[in-house]
Amino acid sequence: MDQSTGRGWRGIHNHLKRLGSRLSVKGKLVLCIILVSIAPQCLLALRFFNSSKDTLVTTTQRDIYQLVQVNNELLDQQLKTVREATMNILVDKELYKIFSDSSFGGLVDRSAVEKSIHSVLTKYFGSLACVRQVDIITRPYTYSMNTRVAQYRDFFAGEQYRRLTQRDGGIVWLGKSEMADYQHSQTYLSCARLLNLVYVETSGIGTPLPEEYERAAIRVQFSDEFFMDRLEKNVASLDDGSYWLVSSGGETLVSGGGADEIPISRDEMDRIWAQGSGIIGFTGANGARMVACFDKLSQSGWMSLAVFSADALANALTAKLYNLFLGLIAVLAATSILAAALAASLVAGRIRGLDQGMAALKAGDFTTQIIDERRDEFSPLVDSFNRMSRTLRQLIDENYKARLSEQEARIQTLMMQFNPHFLYNTLNVINWRALSGGDKKTSAMIVSLSRILRYTCDVQQEQTRFADDLEWIKQYLSLMEARFQGLFTVEWAVDSACMDLRLPKLFLQPLLENCVLHGFSDRRSGGVIQIRMRLEDGDALCEVEDNGVGMSDEQARRALSGRGGSLGLYNTHQRIMLKCGDGYGFAIHEARGGGCLVRARMRADTAPEEDRRASA
């Protein structure tokens, strides 16, 4: 590096240094973010531009070929409709009647025949948009659907009629040049077939027109606009595209676009006809790269061609892609500038927040906290500042909640001590009066109710020994059986190994209540409740099954989500899940013989020795 170059770089360095000294921290941050973000984005966009150009050209060629295929399918659908119409007219009874009339050839009232034939032709071809004209050609006269035409001279002695007779009633697709000898006006694409009329009886038996009667021909002329409108769509998106419809004999049937003649050599055309459908590239007369998309019509055998310059297409796409590239660069630049300004503002805002927090702390407000809505590099500073005030506020809240909970617990304990005492005394008085009156059943119900209340009001423990809970359940069922006399019976199958398990208190009650109130709602007798309890895979598994109305899947989901009206079922399910974890709780199924089956899975914790001694 020579001295002049070194001095130049040092000058640039000094100039940038002076510029940097004049910028604020926010300005420097904005400038750095812009330089770091825009440069890689521009390089990526440029790479995308170079790699996408060839891909877009290939994709566009494929899209044009697909467009040619789609338009050919639409043309084929119309030509197929015409073919079917020329076949259907062969069994038209009215037309058969006209041609089988012995005086048909020498009719004087030709207008009546013209009217009848016009009506028949309109019935089969009048609604077809692709049809320009339909003629029935006889030796003495030609009958037309739309306009009145003269007789085709020497038609029955010409090449076209010979082709029709060789096809023996099959359809023949005719180019414009093939009908030029038979009319002096403009020629059109057409198809023709011999009019081999058949009279079909109601029984399905067909009677052909006798040989001695007229063997006419039917010819359908197509509108040039029908083909041109459809073929023009193949190259509508190209500035220099051309289209042709070509017969197998090489005749150009329809053409349009930028070129007058097909710029394809004979060898390439042979290749196109051999392939039938596809895309080929070739070199034009001026050495330009050309592309031909082609597809053959299945009905007529004509070939649809769309030819365009590959170089012109690449240049057009490159220009569009270049404009897109510039627009993308502009958007990236604007986005980067906006993002840089926003980032700088966010950094400055974080610093201002710390400064304000320090000022409040200096003023003696030790409960001050800086709200940290996002986690970033400033978060450790914010966390350090907030730690003391957050801890102090947390201690104050915990002390307040602890005192409030202690007061509520004391009030609840006093109320629970008063309410059961009053209830027990009242129930004893009622029990004494029942015994005095000799009503032992009522006395038994009162005793069961008293035991139920005494067990329920003991809220000191969330979990209890299953044997104690089972005793309570039996007292509860005795009351339900007394209330719903003869409605249901209970079958027990409890594994003795489960008796000393420590399980959620009263977990069976909502299941049994659901069986009686919901499952047997449409019964008066015959209800059966089966209660099974066993150990399975180290867990306690309780099954409650009934033969009631059962639950649908939607009812079961609503019941376990708290939306089905059974709050007891939902609350107990949540208690088990909170105590035991995921995978535990209730699962509702359809019973094998109808009804409902509820499985309750819980952790099998063994009750302490003192609980077992107390229960004993």
- Residue 513 to residues 181, 479, 480, 548: CA-CA distances in angstroms? 100, 12, 9, 12
Query: Mean pLDDT of successive 10-residue segments in the chain (616 residues)?
Result: 60 63 61 65 63 72 88 92 93 88 60 86 90 86 72 72 85 77 65 90 84 82 85 74 85 79 86 92 81 91 87 70 70 70 65 69 65 67 67 56 54 47 58 67 70 63 85 86 87 92 89 89 89 93 92 87 77 87 90 88 79 56
Distance CA 277, CA 72 (A): 11
> Which residue, 482, 381, 65, is CA-closest to 238?
65
Distance CA 210, CA 193 (A): 18
Return all residues near 390 (Cβ < 8 A) that are at least 6 apart: 369
**At which residue do the structure tokens 């423990």 appear?**
461
> Which residue, 476, 551, 484, is CA-closest to 519?
551
pLDDT at residue 137, as a whole number:
87
User: Beta strand 605-606 with 501-504: parallel, antiparallel or unpaired?
Assistant: antiparallel
- Yes or no: domain 486-615 corresponds to CATH 3.30.565.10: yes
Amino acid at 387: R
The three-state DSSP-derived secondary structure of 24-90 is CHHHHHHHHHHHHHHHHHHHHHHHHHHHHHHHHHHHHHHHHHHHHHHHHHHHHHHHHHHHHHHHHHH
Structure tokens at 550: 């059962």
Distance CA 139, CA 144 (A): 14
DSSP state letter for 586? E
Beta bridge partners of 208: 198
- Residue 106 to residues 139, 141, 152: CA-CA distances in angstroms? 11, 11, 18
Distance CA 222, CA 440 (A): 106
Return all residues near 116 (Cβ < 8 A) that are at least 6 apart: 94, 98
pLDDT at residue 414, as a whole number:
43
pLDDT at residue 80, as a whole number:
94
146 by Cβ neighbours in 10 Å (0-12 / 13-18 / 19+) ranks as: middle
| One fold for 228-314 and 486-615 | no
The answer to whether 488 touches 527, Cβ cutoff 8 Å, is yes
Distance CA 352, CA 339 (A): 20
For every residue of 364-394, DSSP letters joined together read T-TT------S-STTHHHHHHHHHHHHHHHH
Instruction: Give the number of other CB atoms < 10 A from CB of residue 334.
Output: 10
Instruction: Give the number of other CB atoms < 10 A from CB of residue 340.
Output: 22
176 by Cβ neighbours in 10 Å (0-12 / 13-18 / 19+) ranks as: middle
pLDDT at residue 124, as a whole number:
92
Distance CA 279, CA 64 (A): 10
- Go through 465-485 and write b for each residue having 16 or more CB atoms within 10 A of its CB, e for each that does not: bbbbbbebbebbbbebeeebe
- Yes or no: domain 74-225 corresponds to CATH 3.40.720: no
User: Beta strand 501-504 with 488-494: parallel, antiparallel or unpaired?
Assistant: unpaired
So what CATH class is 228-314? alpha beta
193 by Cβ neighbours in 10 Å (0-12 / 13-18 / 19+) ranks as: buried
Instruction: Give the number of other CB atoms < 10 A from CB of residue 496.
Output: 8
Question: Coil, strand, or helix at residue 609?
Answer: helix
Dihedral over Cα of 61, 65, 70, 75: its sign: positive
Distance CA 143, CA 155 (A): 14
R_g of the chain computed on alpha carbons: 49
231 half-sphere exposure, CB direction, 13 A CA radius = 27
Residue 228 — left, alpha, or beta (φ > 0 → left; ψ -120 to 50 → alpha)? alpha
Return all residues near 141 (Cβ < 8 A) that are at least 6 apart: 110, 151
The answer to whether 518 touches 548, Cβ cutoff 8 Å, is yes
pLDDT at residue 207, as a whole number:
86
pLDDT at residue 213, as a whole number:
75
Distance CA 117, CA 105 (A): 14
DSSP state letter for 584? -
Distance CA 329, CA 324 (A): 9
The answer to whether 420 touches 454, Cβ cutoff 8 Å, is yes
Distance CA 426, CA 81 (A): 97
Total length of the chain: 616
Distance CA 581, CA 558 (A): 21
Question: Coil, strand, or helix at residue 508?
Answer: coil
Dihedral over Cα of 36, 39, 43, 49: its sign: positive
**At which residue do the structure tokens 């973000």 appear?**
37
> Which residue, 391, 302, 386, is CA-closest to 79?
302
Domain ranges of the chain: 74-225, 228-314, 486-615
- Write out the E strands in 108-241: 131-137, 142-144, 172-174, 190-194, 198-200, 206-208, 217-222
